[in-house]
Amino acid sequence: MADRFIEVSLDKRGVRCTAALLDDRAPVTCAAVWDALPLGGDVYHAKYARNEIYTLLPAFAAEEPPLENPTITPIPGDLCYFTFTDTQLGTASYGYETGARHRGRTTVVDLALFYERNNLLINGDAGWVPGIVWGSVVDGLDRMAEACQDLWRSGAIGETLSFRRA
């Protein structure tokens, strides 16, 4: 299979980076994401995992991918896929507005970009939260990391995180 690339963007800030899909390590996840592109939604900055931005989406695969190419210590440039139930995200302390917590669905997909070092996927309510590493940023991570820091300091309201075929 030929290499496949996607563009990851913070739309309001006009910042984008390019990532290669890791088809050899996470083929089921890559196929599910690729077939569903374009994807995007409100962006959030992590509270627990540190240097992560993500969006929450309705399930888009016929079946959720298995835990292939898992990690609990993502590195800069990793794109990760997580699956949660709506009740796992329903705790008000997570900070999601009502619309993000209660959309009447049982499966919520979290597509994330890690932009800096020293991440650890542990949650005080749930314990370890392994993610599937399905992509790796190959161009523009420096610009994206700068925008992610601005998002952390200035706020995420009105910003969207998008994934498109490159």
> pLDDT tens for residues 75-125?
999 999 999 887 776 666 565 555 444 455 578 899 999 999 999 998 877
Q: What is the CA radius of gyration of the chain?
A: 15
Peptide linkage before 38 cis (omega within 30 of 0): yes
Q: What is the pLDDT of residues 43-66, one digit of tens each?
A: 999 987 899 999 999 999 999 999
Shortest CA distance to 43 belongs to which of 162, 165, 164?
162
Name the DSSP class of 93. G
| DSSP character string of 132-143 | EEEEEEEE-HHH
Q: What is the pLDDT of residues 117-164, one digit of tens each?
A: 999 998 877 789 999 999 999 999 999 999 999 999 999 999 999 999
Using the predicted structure, report yes or no on whether residue 33 has a pLDDT greater than 80: yes
Confidence at residue 52, expressed as pLDDT on a 0 to 100 scale: 97
For 151, list phi and psi in degrees, rounded to 5.
-60, -45
Q: Which residue type occupies 109?
A: V
Confidence at residue 123, expressed as pLDDT on a 0 to 100 scale: 82
Q: Domain 5-165 classified CATH 3.90.76.10?
A: no
Structure tokens at 96: 């999601």
Structure tokens at 80: 């990760």
Structure tokens at 25: 């390590």
